[in-house]
A and B are shown apart, each in its own frame.
Chain A
Amino acid sequence: MKLPADLRYTASHEWIRSEADGTLTIGITDHAQSSLGDLVFLELPRPGRKVAAGEAVAVVESVKAASDVYAPVTGEVVDANDAIVATPEAVNQDAYASWLFRIRPAGAVDAGKLLDAAAYEATVGQD
């Protein structure tokens, strides 16, 4: 299982990267893409949308199943990776290079709620 140490993770299988401008970049983990299998459809949120932590904001759909992608924090969507919608298989090829959307958090991020690589790996082990 590929788990870059510089990222944070959620129990619902998103990865989160903190950017220098204070925004968070979000995608789905390698474990998530592997479980879903060949991805064929992505639905991303529009910039400007206000989202609450834990809210379903995007959909990743494989040949097998559809799965929601959740906002890891409360804030506003500031960007979506529209280019990747035409090539969902890119997420299968490299989940961490295939970001889905960016959020500007509404307040200070409670870093304690986001998992580090080891903690995420432990939750996956219990799946």
Chain B
Amino acid sequence: MPRHTPLHELHRERGARMVDFGGWDMPLSYGSQVEEHHAVRRDAGMFDVSHMRVLDATGADVRGFLRHALANNVDKLKEPGKALYSCLLDDAGHVLDDLIVYFLDEGFFRIVVNAATADKDVAWLRGLAARSAPGIAFRERGDLAMIAVQGPNARAKVWQALPDTQAPTASLKPFTAAAVGERFVARTGYTGEDGFEIVTPAASAADDWRALEAAGVRPCGLGARDTLRLEAGMNLYGQDMDESVGPFESALAWTVDMASPRDFVGKAALAAAPRDRALVGLVLDGGGVLRAHQKVHTAHGEGEVTSGTFAPTLGRSIAFARVPAAVAVGDTVAVEVRDKRLPARVVKPPFARNGKALVAA
């Protein structure tokens, strides 16, 4: 039986088409997925992301533990409220998950991980802590829901719907968060637009959702979330990277701190790993739609599409593909789409952000 978020009944009431995602029964769309996509690029949309797991780590030296546990360096987090995107690696340097960690105070870091990997991640972190930092406690916050409100007008509409949040978040910089009473508001997201991710008590999440709806925020499903994140050049765990690949083959080198002297789980393996594959962006200039697992033929060998879709902002299909590292931006490759080989251009993502296409027509 798929699990239900605190907003599940509300999605059903609105006639959402539901889909199993990471063991949760989630809205795919409430009508037109393309219109939901445009609402986020042009105005404001919201997503129920309560299936993601909030994990609070508390104790004497949480920073020291995370400095070792995560591939990105939590020492970059200096101001309380600051967020960091990181991979969680295994000893082989492969990706167990990607996550966001928020620094609240030296005794309290909040971690948000993906739904399908949450149980594995929590067990992994608890195991690491048991060996190196037994004083750290982890609390899974099943009592919380999460609503992502995204788009150029998202912040203004959040303030209109939830007036208490305005003063504490008005000067919040991108990738920072603030506690606002029982809520936790972060200026983060997965769409390439401005906005907030609001962590709120499960018991009052439906009230927040209705207030946001009344302020003109359009409910959006996972379908639009996928086309938005792909346009924005953001990876999806389980599709663009997983336990069989490392961050350097997943366009995530920017999230790995190899420069500092600190040791972290997977570092030795990463230092020794060949860098013979890369994750690149593809644009299809003709008709057709790129899809995950299609084969890619390049001058340097074969590759594979990891995520592909029709990009509503661009009006054409885009994809991520894992290809030989010698493939360069500007190259033309051939993708096997059904019974044809279609030419696609290699580009550097993102494809679109902040309402605008970033790929030349």
Interface residues of A (CB under 8 A from B): 37-38, 40-41, 43, 59, 61, 63-64, 66, 85, 89, 92
Q: How large is the interface on B (under 10, 10 to 19, 20 to 34, 35 or more residues)?
A: 10 to 19
Closest A residue to B284 by CB, please name it: A41
> 1/0 contact trace for B294-318 toward A, CB 8 Å?
0000000000000001101000010
Across the interface, do B310 and A41 meet the contact criterion of CB distance under 8 Å?
yes
Partner of B34, one of A59, A63, A85: A63
Neighbouring B residues of A61 by C-beta, 8 Å: 288-289, 310
Neighbouring A residues of B338 by C-beta, 8 Å: 59, 66
Closest B residue to A61 by CB, please name it: B289
Closest B residue to A43 by CB, please name it: B287
Closest B residue to A35 by CB, please name it: B17
> 1/0 contact trace for B315-336 toward A, CB 8 Å?
0010000000000000000000
- With A63-B33, A63-B310, A66-B338 known as contacts, the answer to whether A41 contacts B287 (CB < 8 A) is yes
A-B contacts at CB below 8 angstroms, number: 39
Across the interface, do B287 and A38 meet the contact criterion of CB distance under 8 Å?
no
Q: How far is the CB of B28 from chain A (nearest CB, A)?
A: 8
Within 8 A of A (CB), among B261-308: 287-289, 291
Q: How far is the CB of A100 from chain B (nearest CB, A)?
A: 15
For residue B169, CB closer than 8 A to chain A, the reply is no
Across the interface, do A38 and B34 meet the contact criterion of CB distance under 8 Å?
yes
Neighbouring B residues of A66 by C-beta, 8 Å: 289, 291, 338
Partner of B33, one of A38, A41, A43, A85: A38
Distance A96 CA – B116 CA, assembled complex (angstroms): 40
For residue B32, CB closer than 8 A to chain A, the reply is yes
Neighbouring A residues of B312 by C-beta, 8 Å: 63
Q: How far is the CB of B337 from chain A (nearest CB, A)?
A: 9
Partner of A92, one of B32, B227, B288, B317: B32
Across the interface, do A41 and B223 meet the contact criterion of CB distance under 8 Å?
no
For residue B29, CB closer than 8 A to chain A, the reply is yes
Neighbouring B residues of A41 by C-beta, 8 Å: 287-289, 310, 317
New A-B pairs, 12, CB < 8 Å, besides A37-B32, A41-B288, A63-B309:
A37-B17, A38-B33, A38-B34, A40-B289, A41-B317, A63-B227, A63-B310, A64-B28, A64-B33, A64-B223, A66-B289, A89-B34
Distance A59 CA – B340 CA, assembled complex (angstroms): 13
Distance A89 CA – B32 CA, assembled complex (angstroms): 10
Closest B residue to A40 by CB, please name it: B310
Q: How far is the CB of A122 from chain B (nearest CB, A)?
A: 22
Q: 10 closest A-B pairs (Cβ-Cβ)? A: A40-B310, A38-B34, A63-B310, A61-B289, A41-B287, A38-B33, A63-B33, A38-B32, A37-B33, A41-B289
Interface residues of B (CB under 8 A from A): 17, 28-29, 32-34, 223, 227, 287-289, 291, 309-310, 312, 317, 338
Neighbouring A residues of B310 by C-beta, 8 Å: 40-41, 61, 63
Distance A53 CA – B33 CA, assembled complex (angstroms): 33
Across the interface, do B289 and A37 meet the contact criterion of CB distance under 8 Å?
no
Neighbouring A residues of B309 by C-beta, 8 Å: 63
Q: How far is the CB of B132 from chain A (nearest CB, A)?
A: 44
Q: How far is the CB of B287 from chain A (nearest CB, A)?
A: 5
Neighbouring A residues of B289 by C-beta, 8 Å: 40-41, 61, 63, 66
Neighbouring A residues of B34 by C-beta, 8 Å: 38, 40, 63, 89
Q: How far is the CB of A101 from chain B (nearest CB, A)?
A: 17
Closest A residue to B287 by CB, please name it: A41
Across the interface, do B223 and A37 meet the contact criterion of CB distance under 8 Å?
yes
Closest B residue to A37 by CB, please name it: B33
Distance A63 CA – B223 CA, assembled complex (angstroms): 8
Q: How far is the CB of B29 from chain A (nearest CB, A)?
A: 7
Neighbouring A residues of B17 by C-beta, 8 Å: 37
Neighbouring A residues of B28 by C-beta, 8 Å: 64
Neighbouring A residues of B223 by C-beta, 8 Å: 37, 63-64
Distance A38 CA – B310 CA, assembled complex (angstroms): 10
Output the residue of A40, A61, A85, A92 with the most chain B CB within 10 A.
A40
Distance A59 CA – B96 CA, assembled complex (angstroms): 38
Partner of A37, one of B29, B291, B317: B29
Q: How far is the CB of A96 from chain B (nearest CB, A)?
A: 19
Closest A residue to B316 by CB, please name it: A40
Neighbouring A residues of B29 by C-beta, 8 Å: 37
Provide 24 A-B residue pairs closer than 8 Å at the C-beta atoms, listed in order of the A residue: A37-B17, A37-B32, A37-B33, A38-B32, A38-B33, A38-B34, A40-B289, A41-B288, A41-B289, A41-B310, A41-B317, A43-B287, A43-B288, A59-B338, A61-B288, A61-B289, A61-B310, A63-B34, A63-B227, A63-B289, A64-B33, A66-B289, A66-B291, A92-B32
